[in-house]
Amino acid sequence: MPGRYEEAYSRSIEDPSGFWSEAAAGIDWHRKWDQVLDSSNPPFYRWFKGAELNTCYNALDRHADGGRGDQKALIYDSPVTGQIKSFTYTELRERVARCAGGLKTLGVEKGDLVLIYMPMIPEAVISMLACARIGAVHSVVFGGFAARELATRINDARPVCVITASCGIEPGRIVEYKPLLDAAIELADHKPRVCVMVQRAMAEAPMIEGRDIDWDEVMTSAQPTDCVPVAATDPLYILYTSGTTGLPKGVVRDNGGHAVALKWSMKNVYGIDPGEVYWAASDIGWVVGHSYIVYAPLFHGCTTILFEGKPVGTPDAGAFWRVISQHQVTALFTAPTAFRAIKQQDPNGEHIKKYALDGFRTLFLAGERADPDTVKWAEHHLRVPVIDHWWQTETGWAIGANCIGLGMLPVKYGSATKAVPGFDVHVLDKNRRPVKPGKIGTIVIKLPLPPGCLPSLWNNDEGFKQSYLSDFPGYYLTADAGYIDEDGYIFVMSRTDDIINVAGHRLSTGAMEEVLAGHPDVAECAVIGVAEKVKGQVPLGFVVLTAGVERADDDIVKELVAMVREQIGPVAAFTSAVVVKRLPKTRSGKILRGTMCKIADGEEYRVPATIDDPAVLDEIGAALQGIGHAGAG
């Protein structure tokens, strides 16, 4: 007999209009739709055609007026400044309404674009919701992004207004934003009319007369304004993601489908009830921050946490447990790399024992593959379900997950479990044919994508088709490689460009990383394919050791080579690994494997704009030279 998940999934695929029409009952509409799914212009499918709503109303007003006015909506927890502030739904609505009124006095109208370049402070969330309130489109750029990259986004988005702050705060350093913003505007062809500045005490920024205006001045003089209805198919925001050409792609998110999908996901994917405290330990500059710091928890009437800190170093590897205990967090959503950092610093989980985590119910991981060793470590020390799930900036919410609210399914380590209702996931070979269960291929999603996913790229319909729809007509290309087993479980092994060809054998670097991560002395690892004259490519491992390990690197490397040979086989040709202090990552925690490949092969490379610390690339080059790798340098 099928369970709740099976029933929901079947219904979502067989009757998507009926399924999402029922889900849409969770949202307040200004005007109901004429058509749930408009398929008149494939591949440009649109959800809830003819409907009108306001995203900010659904996030704040209906709760403030519906009995949750005194409930905490947002908790700002900032260990880097020593501040904790909370805002009830009523208080947050008042600030957002006033900010929206301030934007209107600055000439921002419905349909205009506002670029938000902010650290993790309440004003960032307020700005996003204020844009939604008046029907303006926001585009959040990660605070501290390099000037040239910021200029590229300014030119593409063409904002009428920029909202920023004088600085961001990293452990041990202040990052001044104003010089970066000024340089970006100087470089950009498009010039925003006005820049609103949140002055932080740690670094006050100079103002340019006639263009810059102080946030406090705007807020003090503004009158609160009401929500403006917009079409369900109107854009809510643009979020830029790196493209293969080096030019950013502006992923568009609409208002209607976004609200329906995210509201539905809170209960059905995450098992969260209104009134509970939900924490996505991410940044608002990334899609996780958009979806699960700002919008989804507020749609659902939850309390959400905005954390200005790090998993380690603010002040120690117990930061997450302090927040969970202090704010009575029900569920945490973060990246596997955060847990690998915690595990590396606190392998025995000593910090966990210092805090009462009685109300903590579930840990969710996404952003990179959650290797089984990290998942098992978290399960052992936290004693709660640890759920790996898989999604992308483009989809805006989970493609594959263990949908807690629909009845938890058995866990298979290394798998994101099954496709979330609405996502018709397949694995195809290079000839566009289905592969057998358990065989690696390209993971694709049959069109139409469910609500909440990108309808196109910003002012670039042709780029949308070329990037995502041309390789496998009728399907969305995830650019992830993996397989679906005989039980329907999805295993995402790597990006398609991380599949390496060793003497004609297609091998997953993710599978090798899984083996390396199982070594007791390894805290974190990455495997890349490097050029080799005879075999074409061979794998090379990079490992970060657990804190306190005193054994010789050579002994550990020998053990790693033996493990891969035993568990994957000689065909992998895995003969070399190098011990490093850290791996190059983006600020969202993704390992920069492509850049590492270029360094290893001696190719020219561009320092990615999203890198957390460029100095680590020099460390990787030095480590390769240390083992005599010919391509290093």
**pLDDT at residue 630 greater than cutoff 70:** no
Name residues whose C-beta falls within 8 Å of residue 591's C-beta, 6 or more positions apart in sequence: 337, 368, 526, 583, 584, 585
- Choose the weakest-confidence range: 114-118, 569-573, 580-584: 569-573
Judge whether 497 lies within some domain.
Answer: no
The verdict on residue 341 lying in a domain is: no
pLDDT tens digit sequence for 383-417:
999 999 999 999 999 999 999 999 999 999 999 99
What is the model's pLDDT at position 148?
Answer: 84
d(C-alpha 543, C-alpha 373), whole Å: 14
Please give the Cα distance from 36 to 553 (Å, whole number): 59
DSSP string of 161-191, one letter each residue:
EEEEESEEEETTEEEE-HHHHHHHHHH-SS-
Report the distance separating Cα 43 and Cα 453, nearest Å: 13
Q: What is the mean pLDDT of the chain?
A: 92
Check: CB of residue 228 under 8 Å from CB of residue 52: no
Number of domains in the chain: 2
pTM, two decimals, is 0.86
pLDDT at 506: 57
Q: Are residues 122 and 159 in the same domain?
A: yes
CATH number at residue 620: 3.30.300.30
What lies within 8 Å, CB to CB, of 274 at 6+ separation is: 68, 300, 301, 302
Domain assignment present for residue 318? The answer is no
**pLDDT of residue 461 exceeding 70:** yes
Could you tell me if 436 and 575 lie in one domain? no
The per-residue DSSP string of 61-96 comes to IHHHTTT-TTSEEEEEEETTTTEEEEEEHHHHHHHH
Q: Is the pLDDT of residue 504 over 60?
A: no
State the virtual CA torsion across 333, 339, 340, 342 in degrees, nearest 10. Answer: 150
- Domain closes at, from 448, 482, 516: 482
Per-residue confidence band for 568, with pLDDT thresholds at 50, 70 and 90: confident
In this structure, the answer to whether residues 55 and 173 fall within a common structural domain is yes
Contact 537, 502 (CB under 8 A): yes
Tens-digit pLDDT profile for residues 196-243: 999 999 999 999 999 999 999 999 999 999 999 999 999 999 999 864
- Is residue 620 in some structural domain? yes
| 142 lies in the same domain as 189 | yes
SS3 letters across 408-463: CCCCCCCCCCEECCCCCEEEECCCCCECCCCCCEEEEEECCCCCCCCCCECCCHHH
Range of the domain at 579: 503-626
* Residue 287 confidence class, pLDDT cut points 50, 70, 90: very high
Same domain, 573 and 443: no
Residue 243 maps to which CATH number? 3.40.50.12780
Distance of alpha carbon 192 from alpha carbon 182, whole angstroms: 11
Q: Which of 482, 516, 543 is the last residue of a domain?
A: 482
Q: Of 482, 511, 541, at which residue does a domain stop? A: 482
In-domain check, residue 611: yes
Q: Does residue 370 sit within a domain? A: no
Sign of CA dihedral 196, 202, 207, 213: positive
The CA distance from 295 to 289, in Å, is 9
Residues 130 and 275 placed together within one structural domain of the fold:
yes
CB 573 within 8 A of CB 502: yes
Structural contact between residues 147 and 184, judged by C-beta atoms closer than 8 angstroms: yes
User: In DSSP terms, which residues pair with 88 in a beta bridge?
Assistant: 72
Say whether both 475 and 400 belong to one domain. yes
Report strand pairing: 72-78 vs 83-88.
antiparallel
CA–CA gap between residue 356 and residue 358 (Å, rounded): 6
Torsion angle in degrees (nearest 10) through CA of 207, 208, 214, 217: 130
Number of helices (H), then strands (E), in the chain: 20, 32
**Would you say residue 369 lies in a domain?**
no
The verdict on 426 and 524 lying in the same domain is: no
- Under 8 Å between Cβ of 262 and 253: no
Q: Annotate 462-489 with b (16+ C-beta within 10 A) or e (fewer).
A: ebbeebbbebbeebbbbbbbbbbeeeeb
Residue 481 clears pLDDT 50, i.e. is over it = yes
Structure tokens at 480: 């992830």
The C-alpha atoms of residue 271 and residue 325 are separated, in whole angstroms, by 19
For residues 281 and 417, state if they share a domain. Answer: yes
pLDDT at 460 over 90: yes
d(CA 180, CA 144) in angstroms, rounded, equals 7
Residues 508, 477 share a domain:
no
* H-run or E-run covering 307: strand 303-307
* Whether residue 412 is found in the same domain as residue 538: no
Looking at the structure, tell me whether residues 117 and 253 fall in a common domain.
Answer: yes
Asked if pLDDT for residue 600 goes beyond 70, the answer is: yes
Strand partners, 113: 137
